[in-house]
Structure 1
Amino acid sequence: MTLYTTRVEGPNPLGLSDPASVPESALFSFHPLVFLYFMLSFYMVPYPMYRWIAKRYGWETKIKTMARHWSDTMLAFSYGVILFIFGNYTKASWITVVTFYPCLFGYALIAEQPYAKTSLPNIKSWPKGMWILFLVAVGIILVFAGIHIYLATLLELPFVIYYVCALLIPAFFLTASVLLIKEVNTNWIRTRLRRKTQEDMEKQASPYQGTLGLHIHHWQIFYVLAFFTRFTHPVSQVGAGIVLACYMQGICACKYYLRKKSFIH
């Protein structure tokens, strides 16, 4: 089932992972040649392919300069190496690749529908079609989540505990972001810590300029989910192809949003 047939034989002074013997419960694994295969399969080939097809058929994409393409490529390798190491992608199979490409362009076709041209901050004004799409997507994610938790229970304890608790990592960053936004927008923490009287609180000027707004992009959601599709079971490998495709569609069509204007409104 394994796509990558590289093996580590003989002396191994660098301590490279052997793809054939890496357990599904491994916290991290890395092999440089397998990582190159990974990036070729899921970025270096699909990225220019997507941009060419999108231009040919008039799909919505962000106009990029060569500098922006280069910047996104460097970011893709940065994000990719983290995902590869901690997502156990040394165990990726041909099923993941076969699933990836139809899902990449299938997601693009869905995103081109008029009802899908919206975003999470505009949830109150979503059309009916977008709500149906959203609920179907959430249902699929929950089904895959249940299957993956079941697969985690098949491994030796306490792996399933670590596996489920890993969700606390993105939850922590999301909570911290919400609290930061609340602090900047309402001067909440400073006024609470100082225990001012109501009169003093009204006189206290906020040190912040402008306001913040949280905008979670779909590629960020699916990038996080890609860390959990680490099992060799075919269902998990299909799930890996789906989440990688949804993640990469956002990068191919748009870009990595890391500048201030992407988060501040």
Structure 2
Amino acid sequence: MSEKPFPVDAFPKSPFPDGLISISLWDFGSFEPLTYIYFNIAFVIIAYPLYRIIGGFFRWELDVKTPSNHFSDMMALVRYGFIVFVLGGYARTFNWIMILSFYLALFGFALLSELPFAKQSLITWRNWTIKMWMLFVAAVVAVLVMAGFHIYLAIQLMNVNNFREKNDVYIAWYLGSLVILPILMMFALIAKQEQNTRFLTKFYLKVISIFKRMPKKQQPLTNENGSETQQQTDTEAQNATTGTTPDAEPEQPQPYNKVARIHLHHWQIFYSLAFFTRFNHPISQVVGGITLGIYTQGIGAYGPDNYLEET
């Protein structure tokens, strides 16, 4: 029998009632109140102000924030953290290994971002230097290697779970979840195009114009001598003056005042990856801490900037 890659019975004990706890190695949602409190203390309450203090002391690149901005950003970390805690299985995997890797990634990525050639964003990729491209390729390779390792863990977990019927469902759902991100990005692209060109609105108006019942053209009213009535003559004169016709199409919708653009931020990338580091294995816990640390660094330094930006 092959050695199990991770323990399958490592359930944390909780002082809270069972009704508040939902922890399963195979379920995609899990929650345990005490672990969630520790999660927020370690990754929000301590991490955010500590990063701002140390970053300000060493003059790292930080956005200027008001007290209300700090409060809003910390609440954003709590909101996003709750989602990833529940759907990412952190009620089971949260431990000191993850905390240590979290803080190493939080400050390590900040130091890396302070390198002169690394002061770039994905939207400026055309201006990247060779060193920046080398750093980017190395990061992509590391992500792909860890993705392959986590797929291996998912397969191993599926094999351990052979006492259940349809034991291949887990790997299907695990890999199928990767489709969520392209779907969301596609909807964002549609929203961007609609805001900049109003192509959906124009298409909608064009479609309804096809089914819209056109008014029947009435025969001009004539008097006994066969000439048009005064009302018909006045209507035609008004149309000639305004340059309109009874069947003229309505004015086309204009683009919005603000132009939308897509800007993928590093906090969004690593926050998305944090949902897949859900295994009770030391390497998965280290990777989970790294993804959460880099995501927290992005919000701590700049705030939760949107994927769709307006200019």
Structure-2 residue corresponding to 1:168: 179
What secondary structure, in the 3-state scheme, does the structure 2 residue paired with 1:26 have?
coil
What secondary structure, in the 3-state scheme, does the structure 1 residue paired with 2:310 have?
coil
Structure-2 residue corresponding to 1:230: 278
Q: Which moved more, 1:61-70 or 1:177-186?
A: 177-186
In 1, Cα distance between equivalents of 2:266 and 2:45 = 21
In 1, Cα distance between equivalents of 2:11 and 2:96 = 11
In 2, Cα distance between equivalents of 1:220 and 1:27 = 20
In 2, Cα distance between equivalents of 1:159 and 1:238 = 22
1:16 paired to 2:24? no
Q: Which amino acid aligns with 1:75?
A: A
* CA displacement at 1:217 relative to structure 2: 1.0
* CA displacement at 1:166 relative to structure 2: 0.5
What secondary structure, in the 3-state scheme, does the structure 1 residue paired with 2:260 have?
coil
In 1, Cα distance between equivalents of 2:310 and 2:298 = 20
Structure-1 residue corresponding to 2:53: 52
Which of 136, 143, 149 is the aligned partner of 1:147? 149
Does the C-alpha gap of structure 1 residues 11 and 47 become closer, same or farther in structure 2, counting only changes over 3 Å? closer
Unaligned runs of 5+ in 1: none
Q: How much identity, in percent, do the aligned residues show?
A: 38
1:254 paired to 2:302? yes
Alignment of 1:25-174 (within 5 A): 25-91=26-92, 92-156=94-158, 157-174=168-185
Q: Which moved more, 1:39-48 or 1:240-249?
A: 39-48
Which of 167, 187, 195 is the aligned partner of 2:198? 187
Structure-2 residue corresponding to 1:206: 254
In 2, Cα distance between equivalents of 1:205 and 1:190 = 7
C-alpha RMSD of the superposition: 2.6
Number of equivalences: 254
In 1, Cα distance between equivalents of 2:14 and 2:98 = 23
- Maintained 8 Å contact 2:20/2:33: no
Point out the structure with max Rg over C-alpha.
2
In 2, Cα distance between equivalents of 1:9 and 1:64 = 38
TM normalised by structure 1 equals: 0.87
What secondary structure, in the 3-state scheme, does the structure 1 residue paired with 2:261 have?
coil
* CA displacement at 1:10 relative to structure 2: 9.1
In 2, Cα distance between equivalents of 1:163 and 1:54 = 37
* CA displacement at 1:5 relative to structure 2: 8.4
Does the C-alpha gap of structure 1 residues 8 and 188 become closer, same or farther in structure 2, counting only changes over 3 Å? same
Which of 237, 262, 268 is the aligned partner of 1:220? 268
* CA displacement at 1:6 relative to structure 2: 5.1
1:195-243 C-alpha deviation (Å, 9 max, x unpaired): 69xxx99x73435333210111110111111000000111111110110
TM normalised by structure 2 equals: 0.75
What secondary structure, in the 3-state scheme, does the structure 2 residue paired with 1:63 have?
coil
* CA displacement at 1:244 relative to structure 2: 0.8
What secondary structure, in the 3-state scheme, does the structure 1 residue paired with 2:157 have?
coil
In 1, Cα distance between equivalents of 2:16 and 2:185 = 45
In 2, Cα distance between equivalents of 1:184 and 1:121 = 19
- Maintained 8 Å contact 2:20/2:31: no
